Structure formats: structure tokens, C-alpha cells
Amino acid sequence: MISPTILKENIAEVTSLIPAIKRKSVVVTDDEMVEILAEHKNADNILLLAVLPSYGGFGEEDNAGLISYMQFFLLEKVDYKKFKNNDEYLEVFDRTLEAARAFLNGMFGIELLNCSKEQLQYDFQIRPISRKAQCNGYEIQIDSKAYTDNY
């Protein structure tokens, strides 16, 4: 289980290696996300928003563990009037996808749950986000399993 403080520290560590990400924030609710997106300026692109994870258990007595459900958004605020054609619109997704890939790779290198790599399993999805408070980019969902040995 990753705590909010550890999540924030890990994000700071990973994003320090990704110059395209200029702003980052951790949010809990959709209202907080909307507020940050409304305040976001084009000059602050690319924005990384992390949502506090939720947790769940799985398994049985000798094969039990914990799943952390983590969600991240890598977004770029745009002025749609400045797009001359569809290619410029798609370039936003190229830039944010590159940042999303770098972020995802960085997160896999961090020991999220203080477990060895053999104990961790990740499932992830990367989905495009369009026109969310004038922002486009990608959502990353990471489901991280950790098996417990306390039985």
C-alpha cells in the first residue's frame, strides 16, 4: 500500500527526470481536479495530476495480497482556435504520450510498495483524454498487486 506522502515523493523523483512535465499535483476528488485544470496555463504544460490511490484485497489464506489502484493524468492545455489543422491537434497527443511513457517507465523503476520486483505485479492502461477543461493528453491507470507473506 502506497501512502499519499510516498506517492508524492515518488512522483517528484520520477518527474525530475522528465523535463516535459513542468507542473504536478496530487488530487483526491474530481472537484479538485477541475479547479487545477481551470488554473492551469499553457506555459505550465505538461501537467501531471495524480489521484490518491484506492486499495483492495485479493486472494485466500496462503495467497493473499493488496492491490493499489493508481490513476495519473498527463495533460496539455491548448487553445483550439490556434490549431490550423488536425495534425496540430494530434501533435498534442504525441507530446503527452511521450511524457506518459517516460512516466510509466519511471514508476516501474520505483519500489512502490517496499517489495522486491519479484513480489510486484503491474497491470496498466493508457487512455487518451480529449477536451477536459481545454486539456488533452492521457490517463494512466496502474493496478499494482503485492502479495503478503504474513500468514
pLDDT in tens, 40-69: 999 899 999 999 999 888 877 777 888 888
Give the C-alpha separation, 141 to 110, whole Å.
16
Q: Alpha-carbon torsion 26, 130, 39, 87, what sign?
A: positive
Cell 527526470 belongs to 17
Q: 28-37, 61-70, 140-149 — which one is most confidently predicted on average?
A: 28-37
> Which whole-number Å values give the CA distances from 79 to 38, 43, 60, 88, in the listed order?
13, 12, 51, 11
| Cα–Cα distance measured from residue 66 to residue 71, given in angstroms and rounded to the nearest whole number | 16
Taking the model in full, what pTM does it have? 0.83
> For residues 41 and 115, what is the distance between their CA atoms, to the nearest angstrom?
38
What pLDDT does 105 receive? Answer: 82
Joined together, the cell numbers standing for residue 5 give: 506522502
User: What single string gives the DSSP state of each residue in 86-151?
Assistant: HHHHHHHHHHHHHHHHHHHHHHHHS-TTS--GGGEEEEEEEEEEEEETTEEEEEEEEEEEEE----
Q: What pLDDT shows up at residue 145?
A: 76
**What pLDDT score was predicted for residue 65?**
82
Strands, E assignment, 47-87: 47-60, 63-77
The whole domain housing 76 covers 4-147
Whole-number pLDDT of residue 124: 80
Reported as a single tens digit per residue, the pLDDT across 74-125 is: 999 998 888 888 999 999 999 999 999 889 888 765 333 444 444 445 778 8
Q: State the distance between the two ends of the chain, measured CA to CA, in whole angstroms.
A: 17
How many structural domains is the chain composed of? 1
Domain CATH number, residue 93: 3.30.2000.10
Better-predicted residue by pLDDT, 114 or 145: 145
C-alpha cell belonging to residue 12: 517528484
